[in-house]
Amino acid sequence: MVLALLVLVPEGMMLVTGVKSPAMAVLSESMEPAIKKGDMVFVHNMSNEPFREGEVVLFKVDGFEHPIVHRVIKVYEHRDTGEIRILTKGDNNSVDDRFLYASGQLWLQPHDIIGRVACYLPYAGWPSVFISEAYKVCKHALYSG
């Protein structure tokens, strides 16, 4: 029964939210003070809703192992083509995220966004943070020596 719950609960959450990984631990301080390192964010996918400045999204960037949780600071719709462009920034960062995007990429597009943060649970992600940081230490030790 426990095994069934471990399989069915994540699958059910995926069906409800429309996101492959609907819960994720925040691994950095980039969104403080709003969302802190170690908080657990819960993500949903409202793909038919327009993106809005101020909302917090989860997006994937080539070269980064984990998705990034940052705030939308600018939404631009090209007048002629209707193409949507999105610019993000961590609340605790002094500059926008263009330095994080793929080489030559100045904006995110809707397909780069995994989902929108619906809510968060303070401190619930700390076990994941500890595991992630321990993995980095072990990986560094294996490859440097």
Please identify which of the residues 28, 62, 78, 97 carries the catalytic annotation: 97
Q: Which residues pair with 116 in a beta bridge?
A: 44, 57
* N residues, the chain: 145
Q: How many CB atoms lie within 10 A of CB 112?
A: 17
Tell which residue, 5, 13, 7, 27, has the closest CA to residue 118.
13
DSSP code of residue 45: -
| Active-site annotation holds for 30 | yes
Residues with a catalytic annotation lie at 30, 70, 97
